[in-house]
Each structure stands twice: as structure tokens, then as C-alpha cells.
Homo-oligomer: A and B are copies of this chain.
Amino acid sequence: MAKKTPLVGITASKSGDFSEWYTQVVLKAELADYAPVKGLVVLRPDGYSIWESLRTTFSREFARRGVRDAFLPTLIPESLLSREKEHFAGFNPEVYWVTHSGNNELGDRLALRPTSETLAYEMYSQWIKSWRDLPLKINFWNTALRAEIKATKPFLRTSEFLWQEGHTVHATSKEAEDETHAALDSYRHVIEEELAIPVVAGKKSEAEKFVGAVYTLALESVMPDGKALQMGTSHFLGQNFSTAFGIKYSDRDNVERAAWQTSWGVSWRLIGAMIMTHGDDRGLVLPPRVAPLQVVIVPIYYNDADEGRVMAQVSGIQDTLSSSGIRVHVDSRQELTPGFKFNDWEMRGIPVRVEVGPKDVDSGAAVIVARIDGEKTRIAFSDIASISGMLEEIQSKMLARARESQKDLTRTAASYAELASMVEEGGFISAPWCGAGECEEKIKKDTGAEIRVIPFEGDVPSECIVCGKACSHAAPLFARGY
């Protein structure tokens, strides 16, 4: 049997060249690839499987809140977009414009949706007539298209990205605000439980909020390179859009009222966060809950006599794990050495590897290797279903480890000078802020750091780190971000 020379795995180190490491992991673990158009990427089956897993879990969470899925087309007429000029202005430089169909020039240019507020709300204004039609809670799983001029970074910076956008309409301000918070809670739950990434929940500053919103809630996380990443946002829109789009309902007292709205979204950038948070120099490390494969079994034998008894054992293990609901795969490729296979599956981040050779068959136990720390254990064949519990443990360990790392990357600045030097070093910097736009702007100008989030939790400090004035909320987290 001709053995193939192992391909080179990840050649950049995570601590040495984070950006190059990230790109190699994405490409070599075959999560995504570059499309022929600059800025666009293709999601390969393993990447898509992770997205589908998230989609399923999010949809279940949304459904619990009474949200239903629907579909909106990709094209939005320019005339409709201009209905809410302020909201749309921010997207203008990024909009792809369709000007022709076939050889015919279009009268009204069509935008590829950078986000669907205008289209959704135009429909909502027709669907909502009475208080009986409220609340209306719809979510759209689609893509957004925003031409990116900076270097493409799969999952983090692409001109088209997979996401979901939820858009709800309510009779009262209170109900809409509750929904805004509930959406953030759903996100937090799924991101922490499924992706094992800890997040800080809070509010955006006026300067950083979504321009169409009354206020924006956000989840923020800090990546191992010290840069912050926005994980999800939930906007309380007040009556800003309902007034512009005429989303009015006739109330129980027959008076016509403008409705209250929310919108909220997460994107495939969560996959980018997962790669950065958990990966190591060998490649991807997948949280078991979202891993396309949770266990890979590598049979080891060097002659035909051993092949028979090893494969019989392997097939028994596969059946046991499979019927315990574990996503398991047997790597029976003949032309590759066990060592090559180990490296290959490690690079792809599969949580648990099971090795079965002739000696293991003799001793009645398999070698089990956890991807997270490379720890080897032996588990008796009769006890092999305990891998199920091991996967849950790995999932918890990953969240705990990421929490530890986020804690290490979060520091408190005692003075303005310290804030500046800490920003330079990276991570979340907690610093008291009075709430004034000028102080926020000065920090951004001096250090390049912006307010990522004003945490819901935390003591209210006494003096702003810039101007010394009183503060009315917890100290924000400052950082440079993605």
C-alpha cells in the first residue's frame, strides 16, 4: 500500500501571526473559500453545517418567543430606500446597484439588500391594520450585501454574509423594549451554550448605536488577539420607522396609533469568533454541540489478519456511538497513514478521536484523544457510550477556558494615561465615562478605541476618566475592534 506524504498543516502560529493563522485555518479546515469576485466567499459543507446547526438552535429559541420565519426578496427599489434617508445614508457607499435586466435599463435602480428594514416595513404597513394583528414577530434567514473595500476576511469581512434579521412590531413601547432584551437573551444563551464563547451584554453608546434606533443593545466578546468583536445586536426602534413607513394600527378604542418596533441580528461572524476563540496552532477546535462530526474513529492495522478484527471492533463502536446520537465517522481511507489522519482531523477540529489497533482489540479498550488538550485516556469497549458525557464535559471546559481568557483580557484603567497604554496592548479596558460624546470622541481620537458596550451589570463609578464629571452608568468596555 503506497502511503502518501502528509500534507503540511497550519504553518502559522496563533500567537505569532494571528491573521495569517486565522486564514489558514479557515481555508485548510475547508470551512470556506474565496469566490471569484473580490470580497465574496463560498461556505463549504463543514462551514455550512456549523451555520445550519446555529440556525436550527436560534430558530428554536426565536419560536419560543413567538417569532416565525419568512422570506423577503433580494432587491429593493431605490425609491423605497430613500423613504428613510437617515437610516440608509450609512449604507450608501456599500450598496450594489442593479441597473439592467438583460439589455434593458431599469427606470428605478434596484439595491441588493444591505439590510431589510425598508422592505419589511413597507410590507408590515400593509399587513398591520388593527391591534389584533399585533404583535407581529418575523425573522428572515438571508444574506446581506455590502460592498467591502478592505481586505476580505472570511466570516469577518465579506461583501455578502449569511445572517438573520428579526423585525417585530408591538402595540406598546414596553412590549417592544421587552422584546429587544429578550432577543439579546436568546443570542447570549445560544452563543455561550453552543459556541462556548462568553459575551458581555449591555448597551451601545449614542455614537455607536444603529442610526435608526432609539438605542442598541449588544453582546461583545474579546478575541485572543485583544481585538473586540461584536457578536450580536438588538435595536429598540421606538416609532422611528413606524412613523416613516406608516405602520399604524387601530387600537381597541378605535384610535389609530403608530406601532413600536425592534430589530435584531446575528451573522456568520459568530463562526469567525468560534475559530479565533478556540483554535490553536494545530488548527480548528470545534465545540462538540456545533461540530459537524463529534467523534472520528481511526482504525490502525498493518496486515490483512489485523484488518478484519480491528474493523469489526470499529464497526461495533460506530454503531454504539451512532445510536447514542453522536455524530461519528470512521476514517477508513486506505492510502493514508494513521499519523496523517490524526493530524488531518486535529486540523479540522473534531472534538474526540478514537484509535483502535490490534493491541487495543486484545486489551478490550480504545485510546481516546480529546482535541481540546490532547489528553489521552483509555475507555473499555463496553463503556464506549460514555464518550457522550465526555463531549458534554469538553463543551463546558471550552466555555470555562474562554471565560478565563476573556477575564485575562479585561482590565481596568485607573487613569487616562493608563487607558491609552492599555488600549495599545489590546483587550477590553474598563474605564469610567460620564456619558458625554466629547469624552468618548477624545478617547477614540487619542487611542483608536471605541466604546464597545456599556455593561448592564457593574457599579457606577464616580468620575469620568476624561473630564472627571459624575457617571450615571457602569464603566463601559473600551477596545479596538474588528
Which of A37, A92, A93, A132 has the largest count of B CB atoms less than 10 A from its CB?
A37
Q: A35: which of B51, B73, B92, B95 is its contact (CB, 8 Å)?
A: B73
Q: Are B101 and A95 in contact (CB under 8 A)?
A: yes
Q: Are A74 and B122 in contact (CB under 8 A)?
A: no
For the residues of A in contact with B, the DSSP-based class is: mixed
A425 at the interface (CB under 8 A from B): no
Which of A74, A93, A123 has the largest count of B CB atoms less than 10 A from its CB?
A74
Interface string of A67-99 (1 = CB under 8 A from B): 011111111110010000000000011111111
A110 at the interface (CB under 8 A from B): yes
CB distance from A280 to the nearest CB of B (A): 25
Return chain B residues, CB-CB under 8 Å to A75: 37, 40, 96, 145, 159-160
Given contacts A33-B123, A37-B77, A77-B36, contact A71 B93 (CB under 8 A): no
A52 at the interface (CB under 8 A from B): yes
Q: How many copies does the complex hold?
A: 2
Interface string of A47-60 (1 = CB under 8 A from B): 11101100000000
Q: Are B93 and A97 in contact (CB under 8 A)?
A: no
Interface string of A29-52 (1 = CB under 8 A from B): 000010111001111110111011
CB distance from A145 to the nearest CB of B (A): 7
Roughly how many angstroms separate A44 CA and B45 CA in the complex, as a whole number? Answer: 29
Q: A32 — nearest CB in chain B belongs to which residue?
A: B71
CB distance from A225 to the nearest CB of B (A): 26
Return chain B residues, CB-CB under 8 Å to A44: 70
Q: A96: which of B71, B92, B110, B143 is its contact (CB, 8 Å)?
A: B110
A274 at the interface (CB under 8 A from B): no
Q: Are B95 and A36 in contact (CB under 8 A)?
A: no
Given contacts A42-B72, A69-B45, contact A33 B99 (CB under 8 A): no
CB distance from A325 to the nearest CB of B (A): 16
A162 at the interface (CB under 8 A from B): yes
Report A429-445 residues with CB < 8 Å from chain B CB: none
Given contacts A69-B52, A335-B132, contact A96 B98 (CB under 8 A): yes
Q: A72: which of B35, B123, B147 is its contact (CB, 8 Å)?
A: B35
A103 at the interface (CB under 8 A from B): yes
Given contacts A77-B36, A77-B37, A119-B36, contact A98 B112 (CB under 8 A): yes
Residues on A lying within 8 angstroms of B by beta carbon are 33, 35-37, 40-45, 47-49, 51-52, 68-77, 80, 92-103, 110, 112, 119, 122-123, 126-127, 132, 138, 143, 145, 147, 159-160, 162, 333, 335
Can you list 6 A-B contacts (CB < 8 A)?
A: A35-B72, A35-B123, A40-B73, A40-B75, A41-B73, A42-B71
Q: A33-B127, A42-B73, A93-B103 are in contact. List 12 more A-B contacts (CB 8 A).
A: A35-B119, A35-B123, A42-B70, A42-B71, A48-B68, A49-B68, A93-B102, A94-B101, A94-B102, A97-B100, A98-B98, A102-B147
